[in-house]
Amino acid sequence: MIIAVTGTPCTGKTVVSKKIAETLGYRYIDIGEFAEKYNLIIEEDAERETKIVDEKKLKKLLKHEDDVVIDGHYSEIVNSDIVFVLRCPPKILKERLSKKFSPEKVKENLLAEILDSCLISAAENNDNTTVFEIENISTEKTVEKILTLIRNKKIEESIAFKPTCKYLNDENLNLL
């Protein structure tokens, strides 16, 4: 099984992904490190403080993996069996992002979270019945919820049955 965990920076992807991999006895793959290791970086966007990955080659290399948890941006484009999009309330996310990024990058990532950017990407690249939006407030509860869904995938809990843009409101937009 290939499990993808994606989300805006600072939503807890790495901690949650490593815990899931450890619990299931799966291999953990950090998509950024993987892309570096296999020379998949095709461009660096210095202004946006990000790297552009050759998505086609990434998909091809990960196509035959099994029993892995893939963590990071781009993980939602891999042919995964199940995708988890970690979410974080923008007020909390802003605090986390501010410790790590420039004010411009904080604003960009907050806007991405408010506008469901990672969720939309996951929906565009996967069957919506295999994509699950998880609000990550507590690592333990998030891991427990994800493990429950892996063991008993209830499609009615997928994004195919839930509305989006839950963070799109004046209070969150004022954080920008």
What are the boundaries of each domain within the chain?
2-173
pLDDT digit string, tens, across residues 112-146: 999 999 999 999 999 999 999 999 989 999 999 99
Residue 148 CB neighbours (<10 A):
12
Low-confidence ranges of the chain (pLDDT < 50): none
- Rounded CA gap, 91 and 64, in Å? 39
Residues sharing a CB contact under 8 Å with residue 97, sequence separation 6 or more, in sequence order: 9, 10, 105, 106, 109, 110
pLDDT value of residue 52: 87
State pTM to two decimals: 0.93
CATH topology of domain 2-173: Rossmann fold (3.40.50)
pLDDT value of residue 45: 80
Residue 44 CB neighbours (<10 A):
11
pLDDT value of residue 79: 87
- Rounded CA gap, 6 and 23, in Å? 18
